[in-house]
Amino acid sequence: MSDALDKSTPTASTLTNAAPREAPPRRVLESRELFAGGHELHIEHNGFLYTLRLTSKGKLILTK
C-alpha cells in the first residue's frame, strides 16, 4: 500500500473550503388552508398518527 493520500478522498481542508450548498426552498403552508375551517387534522408520519389541533386562542397543539 502507498503512503500517499488518495486524491479522490476529501480531506478536512477540502471539506472546509468547499462551496456551501444551497438550502432547498422553504415550503410555507397556511394553517387556515390546512384546517379548512376545522380545528383538527391528522398527520401520518413514519407509521404513527399525529393530531394537530387549533385552540380557541389560536395556538397549535401536536399530539401523538
- pTM of the entire structure? 0.60
Predicted pLDDT at 5: 57
pLDDT one digit per residue (tens) for the chain, 64 residues = 555 555 666 666 556 667 788 989 999 999 999 999 999 999 999 999 999 999 999 999 999 9
C-alpha to C-alpha distance for 6 and 60, rounded to whole angstroms = 52
Residue 19: the pLDDT is: 76
pLDDT for position 1: 56
What is d(CA 55, CA 5) in angstroms, rounded to the nearest whole number?
Answer: 60
